[in-house]
Amino acid sequence: KAGVTQTPRYLIKTRGQQVTLSCSPISGHRSVSWYQQTPGQGLQFLFEYFSETQRNKGNFPGRFSGRQFSNSRSEMNVSTLELGDSALYLCASSLQLMNTEAFFGQGTRLTVV
Amino acid sequence: DQQVKQNSPSLSVQEGRISILNCDYTNSMFDYFLWYKKYPAEGPTFLISISSIKDKNEDGRFTVFLNKSAKHLSLHIVPSQPGDSAVYFCAASREGNKLVFGAGTILRVKS
């Protein structure tokens, strides 16, 4: 059974640009969550999607958005990139809403220059 | 507001000895707690969990203890092995809500 797949693995963008990250959950999983990991901050929750609807949202500015498709695949978009957005972005999937075991992808390392 | 805190950024332990990683939380509504392990360049992987109705859960070398009155949980690894060297994240949740993670503790097991 394939795990959670995130693409691309690495990305370099310039300040002011926008970026779209993709996440394919484990087959059959309906919940997808996104996290930002920076040194010393742990995993900061961005948002969670379940059945194409955003169910939970973290404390990030509106520049961060996401969506989920009918096949449970999810995309995350960051507009008007800032240097501080440089981080590892992790996607996690689970069968139901994200209150139990979640399976993580390898992440997308975003560098904003 | 850091609802889940891992106050030790790093821990160094000799191979074969016990590793104890600690985690404190502030939200008394949390009813499920998890530990994840993360190697560099990989996503976190689930290690062990515990429901708030229990105070201990064991899986091989890994045991998680929950002290609800102190809002504290700990992960014990016995015996520690060099392959256990990784970042360990504590996480908590309540029904229908997101997982809240701590900042992580870097464990180094020396051979």
Per DSSP (E only), the strands in chain A are 5-7, 10-13, 19-24, 31-38, 42-50, 53-57, 64-68, 74-78, 87-94, 103-104, 108-112
CB contact under 8 A, B46 and A102: yes
Using a pLDDT cut of 90, give the percent of chain B over it.
88
The closest of A66, A86, A99, A92 to A3, measured between CA atoms, is: A92
C-alpha distances out from residue A97 to A66, B16, B26, B98, Å: 16, 38, 22, 8
A residues 69..108 contacting B (CB < 8 A): 90, 92, 97-107
Q: What is the pLDDT of residues B35-74, one digit of tens each?
A: 999 998 889 999 999 999 999 999 999 999 999 999 999 9
Residue B93 has pLDDT above 70, yes or no: yes
pLDDT score, position B96: 65
pLDDT score, position A108: 96
CB contact under 8 A, B99 and A99: yes
Query: pLDDT tens track of chain A, all 113 residues?
Result: 679 999 999 999 999 999 999 999 999 999 999 999 987 778 899 999 999 999 889 999 999 999 999 999 999 999 999 999 999 999 999 887 765 678 999 999 999 99
CB neighbour list of residue B60: distance below 8 Å, 6 or more residues apart: none
Residue B18 has pLDDT above 80, yes or no: yes
Pick from B32, B46, B104: which is nearest to A42 by CB?
B104
DSSP structure class, residue A86 = -
Pick from B46, B89, B95: which is nearest to A42 by CB?
B89
